[in-house]
Amino acid sequence: MPSAMQQPIGVFDSGIGGLSVLQALRAELPQERFVYLADSAYAPYGERGDAFVKARSHAIADYLCQQHHIKALVVACNTATAAAIDELRAQRPQLPLVGIEPALKPAVAHSKTKRIGVIGTRGTLGSARFAKLLASLQGQAAFVLQPCDGLAHAIERSTLQSPANGPIQTTETQALCARYTQALGPFGAQPGQIDTLVLGCTHYLFAQDDLQTLLGPDIRLVAAGEPVARQTRHLLQATGRLCHTSTPLAADTALQLYTTGTLAALQTAAARWLQLSASTCHAIALPHHEAH
């Protein structure tokens, strides 16, 4: 088994959305190896119950620890972080764990009107963890919340189309983005208008072009990938697990991607968003276990 420094970092999401976090991790830690698992057979988590999400999170953590001997785990899914990270930490006290939550604090820092839109899954926005985060910022800004049923799934489904068969059809994603941003209320730089939008689901970064087109160039979109990457570096340093080589690893060497869903969908997403070859992608079966 490789030394602790050489072991990979595990990253998982309910689907391909966490590739946006993997992108940020790679930029922050180019010398590290990563194993990414997209649980696409069970996506999206945001419209399922907590017990189900906890069971999947434990099954994935077990798999990544046992089969890939990971040195740290990044939960690159807002819903899984909200539902399961406390249990994951309690059961694996020796494993550095990094979760993700909607980037409300950075949004407050960016916003001038102090009226901030937040889009996310129902599971994330309705969680106790999110309520606690919201309460910690009381009085600093007004947050307008919008659950986006179906949006993560639409982004996930768009990867099932092959570019070889013509342009990728994103009309479903565009229609949902239009519906949900319209429901949030007026956007703009005037008092009472929303000038910052928090992307509270990792999938949504892959719809940022559609969102920016709808809202205009002056509306700031805020995602959480970069803060997660910085926290991962900090934890690796603090536990003596940071890889000290200064030579960045080639992406095809550093990354192994796995999916419980359709292999072609992961290959399409990896090529489109991370410019990775199909050889980095693999399909696995990871049966569902009952909650711990």
What is d(CA 239, CA 168) in angstroms, rounded to the nearest whole number? 43
Looking up tokens 């059961």 gives 91
Q: Could you say which of 148, 177, 201, 281 is catalytic?
A: 201
Burial class (CB in 10 A: 0-12, 13-18, 19+), 266: buried
What is d(CA 14, CA 68) in angstroms, rounded to the nearest whole number? 19
126-140 pLDDT tens trace: 999 999 999 999 999
What is d(CA 238, CA 130) in angstroms, rounded to the nearest whole number? 27
Specify the pLDDT at position 161. 64
Specify the pLDDT at position 171. 87
Burial class (CB in 10 A: 0-12, 13-18, 19+), 170: middle
Specify the pLDDT at position 292. 46
* DSSP secondary structure letter of residue 212: H
104-120 pLDDT tens trace: 999 999 999 999 999 99
Answer yes or no: same fold for 9-100+226-283 and 104-223: yes
Q: Which residues contact 102 (CB under 8 A, 6 or more apart)?
A: 78, 118, 120, 124, 130, 133, 198, 199, 200, 224
Domain definitions of the chain by residue range: 9-100+226-283, 104-223
For 104-223, give the CATH class: alpha beta
Encode the chain (292 residues) as per-residue pLDDT tens digits: 557 778 999 999 999 999 999 999 999 999 999 999 999 999 888 878 899 999 999 999 999 999 999 999 999 999 999 999 999 999 999 999 999 999 999 999 999 999 999 999 999 999 999 999 999 999 999 999 999 999 998 998 887 765 544 444 568 999 999 999 999 999 999 999 999 999 999 999 999 999 999 999 999 999 999 999 999 999 999 999 999 888 889 888 899 999 999 999 999 999 988 999 999 999 999 987 654 4
- Integer-rounded Cα Rg, in Å, for the chain is 18
Angle at alpha carbon of residue 172, lines to 169 and 173, rounded to 5°: 90
What is d(CA 195, CA 190) in angstroms, rounded to the nearest whole number? 8
Q: Which residues pair with 281 in a beta bridge?
A: 257
What is d(CA 181, CA 243) in angstroms, rounded to the nearest whole number? 42
What is d(CA 48, CA 82) in angstroms, rounded to the nearest whole number? 13
Asked if 8 contacts 74 with a C-beta cutoff of 8 angstroms, the reply is no
Which fold, 9-100+226-283?
Rossmann fold (3.40.50)
Q: Is position 77 annotated as part of the catalytic site? A: yes
Q: How far is CA 45 from CA 30, 203, 267, in A?
A: 29, 12, 21
Q: Could you say which of 77, 177, 243, 281 is catalytic?
A: 77
Specify the pLDDT at position 79. 92
Specify the pLDDT at position 136. 97
Helix 78-91 / helix 50-68 crossing angle, nearest 10 deg:
60
Burial class (CB in 10 A: 0-12, 13-18, 19+), 244: exposed
